[in-house]
Structure 1
């Protein structure tokens, strides 16, 4: 594998190079050798483990989940999008086929076979899709799933610490992609600005940036309290009947909904364990994790749920003005050109962070969201729902007593939000410690197979280091509040790993600048600056309706800014005061 990787690098075949790098990096976790039964006895035999997985998924995916009878009472009826009912054209089919990933198949027919099978094969498959569209029925092979497990965290013997992923047939995935391409057009009209999960030109950085900006602006003027919700098996617990009703309410016509139902109703699944298949069992609840439609369908369901949250739900009210310089705060004193919005939540798929300024407001927000989730048949995981209370500068973290359905919510000093750690002091020091640890772990996993491999050139090793290790190290660095002590730790990591890769010893008396020149790579400070400049330009070019842009050009609508607060913020961001 190392020789193949070097060959890809020499021939500048970057696609094969990065695919090979991914294979060398390998899976993060291996399969568990033992598993806990429902009564907590330890299972060791393969057939026992497979039966336990079947029992677990049979319970999880057939739970009695239902929405309240009048759950759509506050959701307005949108005009029907009748064009969605039209049969898919061959152009739509071909576009969906080109969007499919190669090397991904739940059956013996890979995507490449259909992509390169010629016009006759494509025409035949398109006609089968048209037949299914006309009959509103999908073949069983198109909707049935093979279930594999991916470990998340915690006890590896506990089934609840794994995520089940559905491996689906390519033909069914093409039909699902056609449906998704149409559904996304409607979703972009319906979904709230606070939802950035699995949407075009949006990502986790958008919401991390918004959360950190609210922290920093509130540190100047007041104190927000974040509340992070964790939904219990969110995708698996969506009531399907309620999901179809939500689509109808959002203007999705019945024939189109029938096609989505055809890929869900009557489906069965088999569990794969050690290459062995279990007996099939039915799945009657939830959305298929592994289906391309699932994230968008879930986001639409949550969008309907937000209508159940009162319009006056407490949040963080900001005033913004999109013209003028970011640091010219006087422009926000104008009553004519400023606008105000109330930021109540930050969403990325099923990750939801609610914000408020006081404990009383947060308690009201918790009650409102919990009632809305319950109304739509979703369950909040109280054990994983946390509060992050940010104090005023110089004050201790306030003691909170926020409850949800009689259970007191734990208040924490740090919380991992979308892979980035937020802290009560609104600094990034804890996050950078976490990034350094992740970087060390990633480097250790590749040390023997890549960085100490004699079949790879130094140039190739540096490419792998830059692709995997640096990317891991600098995740979400665009949003960091970076201090010199944090930057020093990052630079030390950078130099230590580069010297190890190039076998430069400290007593060789090679300067840090010379190390960077030999590796043909920049310093961490330069990389972070590049990331920030690129992100700043991206935010400024966003449409004026985007939440990250509004927050960047804003301040809190209430609260006092102490003297020199702006100067402090400039120093924090390491921006020259003369600029």
Structure 2
């Protein structure tokens, strides 16, 4: 058992000491105990446990607040949701021969631009007072350490804007902050003028990557004007305008959260990227006597296979495409195990050597 103490400002100007009983066996923070004490006796220890516990406690309120269009930093949601939705849109335009215009925006240093007083005002309407006080404390007196020109001496300074990055709560606070801005932007967007327009989603978002969808491109000037109220700035160099009619082909080259919309082109790109990652570690794979096979396999799954299968849950593969992908996967496995011609090995023996079957269709 471990006691963790952190101060939190109370409504009467005093400080509350929140003492958490941390059970290392279950890795969970139990209920807090509070005690009022003076500012002169503030002593606390930094820990990542409290932000994680607060994130879990406010999660139901956050889920009720966020729009369904936001897939970033939410349970059971991922970039695959974004890619799948774009694939559905492209399939619908190809089937029904209609035009859809997508305005994709990206924001510059969005996490560092949050005005903390604004996020606290938003949270007041969402979460309980106890949780709000803890969030207020976590956002206060944050210190950033920097090193300039390779200097070994850290140069700390206080930061009063943005969310302190590095814990699990910060991205959640950002999505709440952005949702408030998007609610205001939605009031400026034109209403769908057809039943078809009401069938398609008007917005797809993953954190600060937001796509506005409609029969016309969104007004970037109005969007920027609204976002500036929240100290958020659109990166105009990364703004994308995509047209999805049957006759156009340029949309097939557009990437959304790192994936191409067309499956076979995305798979080929994944193969190229994973091959590059594999080649960068050639020295590692060739050290047969120095690195254990189990370690190589673990590194391969973490550094190469994760690139190959990024957003693979959004793919709709034919049997032939699946077999080709598995063959490519086996080729990579042979390389990390240093199995070369003329030596031959059956697929069954290869998978056995890898400890368990690891085909693309297996549960990875």
TM-score > 0.5, shorter chain as reference: yes
Q: Which residue of 2 aligns with 1:252?
A: 127
C-alpha distance in 2, partners of 1:375/1:445?
A: 45
Task: Please list, as runs of the form range in 1=range in 2, the aligned pairs for 1:130-529 lying within 5 A after superposition.
Answer: 130-131=34-35, 169-170=46-47, 173-221=48-96, 222-248=98-124, 250-254=125-129, 256-272=131-147, 276-310=152-186, 313=190, 341-356=199-214, 358=215, 361-364=216-219, 366=220, 368-392=222-246, 395-397=247-249, 414-422=253-261, 427-456=262-291, 461-462=296-297, 464-466=299-301, 468-482=303-317, 490-491=325-326, 493-507=328-342, 510=344, 515-520=346-351, 527-529=359-361
Q: Measured at CA, do residues 491 and 293 of structure 1 come closer, stay the same or move farther in structure 2, by a change above 3 Å?
A: closer
Measure, in 1, the Cα distance between the counterparts of 2:319 and 2:359.
15
Bigger Cα displacement from structure 2, 252-261 vs 381-390: 252-261
1:346 deviates by 1.3
Aligned with 2:185: secondary structure?
coil
Task: Write the distance in 2 (CA, Å) between the matches of 1:493 and 1:316.
Answer: 47
Task: Give the gaps of 5 or more residues in structure 1.
Answer: 1-85, 101-121, 143-168, 320-339, 399-411, 535-579
Q: How far apart in 1 are the matches of 2:193 and 2:210?
A: 15
Pairwise CA distance, 1:378: 1.3
Seen in structure 2, the aligned counterparts of structure 1 residues 285 and 453 have a Cα distance that, compared at 3 Å, is same
Number of residues paired by the alignment? 341
Q: After TM superposition, give the deviation of residue 489 of structure 1 in Å.
A: 6.0
Change (3 A) 1:136 1:247: farther
The CA deviation string for residues 501-556 of structure 1, in whole angstroms up to 9 with x for no partner, is 45444555x4xxx532121179xxx945457xx9xxxxxxxxxxxxxxxxxxxxxx
C-alpha separation in 2, matches of 1:460 and 1:317: 57
- Could you tell me which residue of structure 2 aligns to residue 98 of structure 1? 27
Contact 2:89–2:200 (CA under 8 A) maintained in structure 1: no
Cα distance between partner residues in 2 of 1:362 and 1:421: 21
| Deviation for aligned residue 1:285 | 1.1
Superposed CA deviations along residues 307-355 of structure 1, whole A, max 9, x for unmatched, are 2123564579888xxxxxxxxxxxxxxxxxxxx6551111122121222
Q: 1:247 to 1:481 in 2, by over 3 A?
A: same
Shift in Å, 1:233: 0.6
User: Alignment partner of 1:354: what SS?
Assistant: strand
For the Cα contact (< 8 Å) 1:266–1:283, is it kept in 2? yes
Q: 1:236 to 1:97 in 2, by over 3 A?
A: farther
Cα distance, 1:276 vs structure 2: 2.4
* Structure 2 gap segments, 5+ residues each: 1-15
- Aligned CA RMSD, in angstroms, stands at 3.9
Kindly indicate whether the alpha-carbon contact (under 8 Å) linking 1:346 and 1:352 is maintained by their aligned counterparts in 2. Answer: yes
Q: SS of the residue aligned with 1:362?
A: coil
User: Do the aligned partners of residues 96 and 174 (structure 1) sit closer, same or farther apart at CA in structure 2, a change above 3 Å counting?
Assistant: farther
Instruction: Quote the residue 1:561 is aligned against.
Output: none
Measured at CA, do residues 229 and 428 of structure 1 come closer, stay the same or move farther in structure 2, by a change above 3 Å? Answer: same
Distance in 2 between the 1:304 and 1:232 partners? Answer: 18
- Structure-2 change in CA distance of 1:440 and 1:257 (3 Å): same
